[in-house]
Amino acid sequence: MSTILSFLIAYNLLHVFMWGMYEKAGKPGWHTLIPVLNDMTLCEINGRNKWHALWGLLPFFNLFIILIWLSELLDSFERRKFWEQMVGIGLGPIAFLYIGFNKTDKYHGKSLEKKVKRSFGREWADAIVFAVIAAYVIRTFVVEPYKIPTQSMEGTLLAGDFLFVSKFHYGARIPMTPIAFPFAHHTMPFINTKAYSELIKFKYHRLPGLQKIKRNDKVVFNFPAGDTVALERQSETYYDITRNEGWESVQANYHVTSRPVDKRENYVKRCVAIPGDVLSVEQGEVYIDGKPGYKPKKRQFFYSAILNSPFSYQVLNSIDIKGKNFPNNKDAYDANTGAYFYFMSPWQVAKLKSFQNVNKVGRYYNVNSHDGDERVYPNQPSLGWNQNNFGPLKIPNAGYTVKLDSTTYYLYERCIRIYEGNKLEMKSDGFYINDKKTDTYTFKMNYYFMMGDNRDNSLDSRFWGMVPEDHIVGKPLLVWMSFDPYERDFLKSIRWKRFFKPIHGNSIENKDLF
């Protein structure tokens, strides 16, 4: 609330510096002091209907509306050259005070009622600025394109799928770092510097949405463990690198940076557990509150196959076994056992077994059932958790109070400390939150558990924990284009059958497209 209040104060204070400009336009200067009335008067000065001022009440959208109004105001004082507009808007209060109180600048009438011929360059500059603003608003509040880079959601969503992601279904999130280069997520292309500034930062707020996240929805979100990044090894989490190499080594050998929530990498996974659920994973299958969870038809697991002779690329391609399973990939073959390894859905397993050169096909587990894996959240091998056998874990909802003990401390420490911004300590005499001794904690946000449909080839919540609600980006709606990144022939790489396929429904979820 304090962020919104600060913005409203700054927004209305901006008008006060226009006092002289209002009076030159024949309007009372004191109108600049009254919220809403100041926008209504500004609209009239520019030649707009005064009720257009209601647009200024729309959160964040008004940031762009006021830029248009200011450009029109400068136009009304014949400050319409491109450099004058940029300087006037950029200097803001200083420029408004100068124009309002010097004896040279005069009000020349409502800018929207004047037919002013602009230069060719100015026409193009105006068109480009408008297009950038419009595109930025659409990407922020309506829909944004996204490309799937990895195989973690195969065989439902494939590497090389281009998605349209809805921002309004779950409620558009107000940008937390609004000063950013348009269309660059976190890194400037070519020069590889930050594409945003943290000079202004807003707290988490979200506009009302059409629906809540449902269990088994496919969701796009900011990568929670991407708060800290080793720039030279961005495909790995900073925390995994630090566990393997040590903090001092990482600091000495890599460029380490932090990223705000809305500038972390975008991931897409399936939400297998929602706030309030108790989740467990047994042999790779999900259980919710002790009952079997949803089993995507095309979910994949890791299989070993004993073959009389290896498959050709063409045969593997015919049943859509891709990527790391190429025949020339040494990781897909074990010379000691003679086994080949493939990530496959049930229909692919059945198809593989039908070939005459196949002796045996079976699930392959890289760890024993109850061996703890330190790579798996919460990185405590003593729990005996691994990617195939995980939990039970209670997924917190806003308002849920957990009792702190030696187990729940590790399960929820990152949520309490990192995501909800508290100081949490475990001392010999108990637990301290923000230097106050306590044995409970009440969560402020909802959390979600995300998993990839390629269950044995997905770095998901089993490895880096739960996703807080402020990391939710949107709901993928449509595969609008798709190219196979592992196909050598460009024309053959085009997946025509996936073009313009809805994601939530039978087109992607339940039909085999190959």
Show me where the domains of the chain are located: 2-141
In this prediction, residues 337-361 reach a mean pLDDT of 89
Please state, as a whole number, how many other Cβ atoms lie within 10 Å of the Cβ of residue 437.
11
Tokens of 38: 């100041």
Looking at residue 190, its pLDDT comes to: 80
Q: How confident is the model at residue 66 (pLDDT cuts 50, 70, 90)?
A: confident
Kindly state the average pLDDT of the residues 88-99: 82
Euclidean distance between CA atoms 267 and 257, whole angstroms: 19
180 vs 400, more confident: 400
Q: What is the pLDDT of residue 450?
A: 97
Distances (CA, A) of 309 to 215, 337, 356, 407: 43, 14, 10, 49
Q: What is the pTM of this model?
A: 0.80
Q: Of 6-15, 311-320, 496-505, which range is least confident?
A: 6-15
Q: How many CB atoms lie within 10 A of CB 106?
A: 12
SS3 338: coil
Residue 511 pLDDT level (bands cut at 50, 70, 90): very low
Mean pLDDT of 22-51: 90
Report pLDDT for 69.
Answer: 85
Instruction: Check pLDDT > 80 for residue 122.
Output: no
pLDDT digits (tens, 9 = 90+) for 237-295: 999 999 999 999 999 999 999 999 999 999 999 999 999 999 999 988 999 999 999 99
For 147-167, the DSSP string reads: E--SSTTTTTS-TTEEEEEES
Percent of the chain topping pLDDT 90: 46
How big is the CA angle at 495 (ends 491 and 501), to the nearest 5 degrees? 150
Confidence at residue 441, expressed as pLDDT on a 0 to 100 scale: 97
Residue showing tokens 């609008």: 480
Q: Which of 106-110, 159-163, 235-239, 325-329 has the lowest mean pLDDT?
A: 325-329
Q: What is the pLDDT of residue 126?
A: 66
Query: What is the C-alpha separation between 348 and 362, in angstroms, rounded?
Result: 12
Residue tagged 């500059």 (tokens): 125
pLDDT reported for residue 71? 84
Give yes or no for residue 413 having a pLDDT over 60. yes
- Closest Cα partner for 394 from 447, 472, 334? 447
Per this entry, what is the length of the chain?
A: 514
Residue with tokens 């209040």: 5
Say whether pLDDT at 17 is over 70. Answer: yes
In this predicted structure, what is the pLDDT of residue 116? 58
More confident residue, 324 or 457: 457
Distance in angstroms (rounded) separating the CA atoms of residues 103 and 343: 76
Q: What is the pLDDT of residues 209-247, one digit of tens each?
A: 999 999 999 999 999 999 999 999 988 899 999 999 999
Q: What is the pLDDT of residues 372-394, one digit of tens each?
A: 889 999 999 999 999 999 999 99
Across the range 458-483, mean pLDDT stands at 95
Residues ≥6 apart with Cβ < 8 Å to 184: 195
| Cβ-contact 188, 181 below 8 angstroms | yes
In the chain, the largest separation of any two C-alpha atoms, in whole Å, equals 93
The pLDDT of residue 192: 81
pLDDT score, position 323: 57
> What is the arithmetic mean of pLDDT over 405-428?
95
CA-CA distance, 46 to 74, in Å (whole number)? 9
CA angle, 399 as apex, 141 and 201 as ends, to 5°?
40
pLDDT at 68: 82
